[in-house]
Structure formats: structure tokens, C-alpha cells
Amino acid sequence: MKPDSADAHCNLGIALDGLGRPADALASYDKAIALDPAYDAAYVNRSVPLMALERFAEALASCDRAVTLNPASAEAHNNRGLALKGLKRRVEALQSWDEAIALKSDFADAYSNRGIVLNELKRHAEALASCDKAISLKPDFANAHNNRGNALYNLQRPSEALESYDKVLALRPDFADAHCNRGIAFADLGRLADAAVSCDRAIALKPDNAEAYFNKSCAALLSGDFERGWQLYEWRKKTKNSPATRSFAEPVWTGAEDLFGKTLFVHWEQGLGDTLQFCRYARLAEARGATVVLSVQDALVRLLRTLSPTVTVIGGDARPAQFDYHSALLSLPLAFGTVEQSIPAEAPYLSTDPDRARFWKERLGDHGFKVGIAWQTGVRSDTSADMARSFPLNRFEALSKIPNVRLISLQKNDGVEQLDRMPAGMKVETLGEAYDKGPDGFVDTAAIVANLDLVITADTAIAHLAGALGRPTWVVLKHVSDWRWLLDRSDSPWYPTVRLFRQPAHRDWAGAFSEMEAALSELCAAARG
């Protein structure tokens, strides 16, 4: 009846966007803008389907145009923040939401959106406060309750996070992401059956929900159900924060194909600890007759060349000129059908550089019971869940006072600043500028570990290095640990020389260290004869 109505085209865009048809919605908004180039609300609305199509730079430009036309549009500033978030320009996104709130003090969406990005910036207490403000303005705001749950989980308060997710689902039972998040909280509380149920509900609502499948895989692996866990673990490659898996024209090796006389390219994908733990599978592939080329992080190249004289180890993003099959490193347990009884647990499977081992033997000396320690994961790259594995250096205070014990810091980068604020009377030796200097740092760490009587560490790469070297190692774990350490056991099927000390209750590091103090006192007494 009125084909030149800009308002009608804009409203049609809103309807199409609500139906999940972003490309059609975008066409309607463009038509509205063609009819009225000064239509600021159409520019704001246009950013929504652009973001759904992951065209964030165009969405930002559309919001910028809306702000130029109407600087007082709180909605334009809010959507601008979302576009900036999509571009990972998080600090600028916060500034846009602050501007939106300055223009509209009761803007619950802007407060909730702030909470998302503050979580991503690891400013979790601020994220919680922002979500609480959103909920105070709009008590039935499901997204804000979900974001609040995420902030509480990141603050290591999983029981409270679970309460927030329950509120979300009371408001919106079909909120797939909230079911998924609820599963994560259940897993952190050790309620693995409940975690699986929540993940299944998320999958039923959203069959391609990679995060839910991945979380379900971690719960299965943690429970020791490797057969199901490794299958589901392949969904990690499709998650939003997917590890750096690589794709090639050559086929993936699934375990079914004959490797005899073939070249298998295995490429790293996650952290240093993952590479140290799973590099052992290269030798299993060799045993099947393959020529193996193993890509690892540059810092590990020299160390991992001790894995096998016939495995070719290359660094970074390098690739061989020719190969028959390839596999991401953490897909090999699935390809080999690994269950607990078939874990390749022989240790050591890595070795030290003899010259560096002699150098550090001389530097360390022979006196005392030498204990290498590490207490913190890297805060720059790890998730909040990973940071929950860390504990303060001062937890070692009682251990440092056991007669004849020498605590020697193996900590690098994040966490070393705690050495400057130890409790009075606590002593931890450091290794000086020579420690892990240069690109082959792990060669030094390995040489030092080989000369220690014991390693005590948080769940870091040091734990996997010491285990791979077959050295006596104690790993201090949170109450419900990462899946690779399983549940409720003090040994590891992956490393025969590793002993596990767990928090007896959530966040109870004191209990774990009290048990370890008694064990170390007994060990030192036995060493003295």
C-alpha cells in the first residue's frame, strides 16, 4: 500500500531479524535507509543482523553513523559496544556502554553487556556488580542472570553460579547456553551425572552446541569414561574458543588407516602441558610403522627431540613438505582407542641435555633435600578456570621450615613477584638469570628437575615435564581437578612417579598443604636415614 514507507521497511527488518533471517532483515534495513538516509534507528537496527552474520566492522560503521545522526541514542552506543566486543576491542566496548548508561541510567541491557566483557577481561568482581545492577533494574532479565552466573563461576563460586543459572532457566527453560553453563558448574562441584544431564538438555535445544558436547566430554573423561570421552572431545575443534587446530588437504588419520610406510604429521594445538603429556603418542604411531613428524611449540622443540631419534620434531606453524595423514595431537588418544588400561605410561619418555644437567648439578650442589616448586599458571592466556588451579606462594611456608628442606623456585613469568613478599622467615631459592634464558628454556627446566629430589607444583606444565622425565612429583590440585587427573585418587595412570594432593573441600588449599607437610616431613626423615 505504501512501498516508500521507511518505517514499514524498518519494522519488517525487525520482524525478519526476530525470525532468525538476518540477511533478509539487513535488506529491509538497507531499503529503509535508502528511503531515509537520516534514519538513525534503522542504522542501529541494521547492526544487529550484521553482527549475527559476524560482519562486525560493518556493524560498527552502522552504529557510528547512527551516533553521528543522533549522539543521544543510548541504543546506538549499546549496539556499538556489541560490535566492538565482536571485534575483540573490549576496553572500547566498555566505553560505549558507559556512554549508553550516561544517556539512559536505567539501561539494563548495557549493564548486562558490560558484565560479559568485564568477565572476558577477568574483572569478575566488576562483572558481578554490573550484572547485579542490570537485575535490579529488570529482575526477570534472563541474560543478566546468565552473565551473573558466569561471573560467579569465574570468581570460583560454583554453588552460587548454579543458583543464577537456575533462575535463568526458571525464566527461560529453552535457554540452551544456560543449560550448558549449568553443566559446567555441576562438573566443578563434582556432580558429573547432573553435568551430563544439563549438557544433554543444551544439546536437545541446540543440536550443534559444540560447547555443550565439549563440556560433556570433559565430564566423561574426568569420570574415567575414556571411550565416550575421547569421542565427544573432538567437539573441541568447533567451540568458540577452539584450540589452534589446523586443517590440510591430506586426510585425517582416524586410527583405522594402515600407517606402515606412511608419513603421519602430528600438530600441537593447546598448551605446553598438553604437548608434554601427549607427545608420547608419536612413539605409538612409529610402532605402527609410520614416519612421524611432530610439530610443537618453539619453546619445546629442543626438549622433545629427545622423545625418539626417529621422530622429526619441528616448531611453531611449520609443516612437512609431504605427508600422507595428519592428526591434531589430542586426537591421538581417540585414534589409538585409549582406555585407562592402555595408557602409554612408561616413564621417562623425555630426557635431559647432559651438559645442562651437569651445569645445574654443580649450581644446585648436593646439600639438603632439594624441592622444586611452582605455584601459578599464566594469567595472560589462561582462563579463570585455569587460574583456579593456582595458589599463593606463601602456602609453602610450613614446608619451607621442615628441617633440611630446600625450596627452589621453578616459577617463571607470572607469579614470580610473590617472591618479593614472602612471610618473614620463609626462604625460597631462585636460580638467577641463567634459568631458562633463551628460546630453549625448557631444556634448562628439565636439567634442573633431573637434579632435584622432588617437584611440588600446581597443575602446570611443570607437572607434565617432571612426570615425562620420570621424576618424583607431587601435584597439588583443586577439589575437582582438570579431567586429566581423574577423580578421588592420589596416583595418575599417565605418570607412575606422580602423587596427587587434592583440596579436601572446595578452595581448601590449607587442607591439601597440611597433608603434604606431613608427607614431606616423613619423606625427609626417611632420606636422612
Instruction: Provide the pLDDT for residue 244.
Output: 64
* Shared-domain flag, residues 297 and 428: no
Residue 246 in any domain: the answer is: no
Q: Strand 473-477 to strand 454-457: parallel, antiparallel, or no bridges (unpaired)? A: parallel
Enter the C-alpha cell of residue 152. Answer: 560467579
Within the chain, which residues score under 70 in pLDDT? Answer: 244, 379-387, 436, 438, 529
Instruction: Provide the pLDDT for residue 246.
Output: 86
CB distance 79 to 40 below 8 Å: no
CA 355 to chain centroid, in Å, comes to 36
Residue 213 in any domain: the answer is: no
The CATH code of the domain that includes 68 is 1.25.40.10
Question: Model-level pTM?
Answer: 0.90
> Final residue of a domain: which of 163, 190, 206?
206
One-letter amino acid identity for 304? Answer: L
The CATH code of the domain that includes 282 is 3.40.50
Residue 69 in any domain: the answer is: yes
* Shared-domain flag, residues 360 and 338: no
Q: How far, in Å, CA of 53 to CA of 86, rounded?
A: 11
Instruction: Provide the pLDDT for residue 245.
Output: 75
| Tens-place pLDDT, residues 266-312 | 999 999 999 999 999 999 999 999 999 999 999 999 999 999 999 99
Instruction: Provide the pLDDT for residue 381.
Output: 43
Q: Which residues of 121-138 are buried (b: 16+ CB within 10 A; e: fewer)?
A: eebbebbbbbbebbbebb
Residue 253 in any domain: the answer is: no
| Tens-place pLDDT, residues 208-229 | 999 999 999 999 999 999 999 9
- Bridge partners, 502 (sequence order): 477
Residue 484 in any domain: the answer is: yes
Q: What share of the chain is helix, strand, coil (3-state, %, to 5)?
A: 55, 10, 35
339 exposed, middle or buried (CB, 10 Å; 0-12, 13-18, 19+)? middle
Q: How far, in Å, CA of 181 to CA of 245, rounded?
A: 24
Q: How far does the chain reach from its first CA to its final CA, in angstroms? A: 99
Q: How many structural domains does the chain have?
A: 3
> Final residue of a domain: which of 166, 188, 206?
206
* Shared-domain flag, residues 336 and 364: no
Total count of residues recorded for the chain? 529
CA 229 to chain centroid, in Å, comes to 18
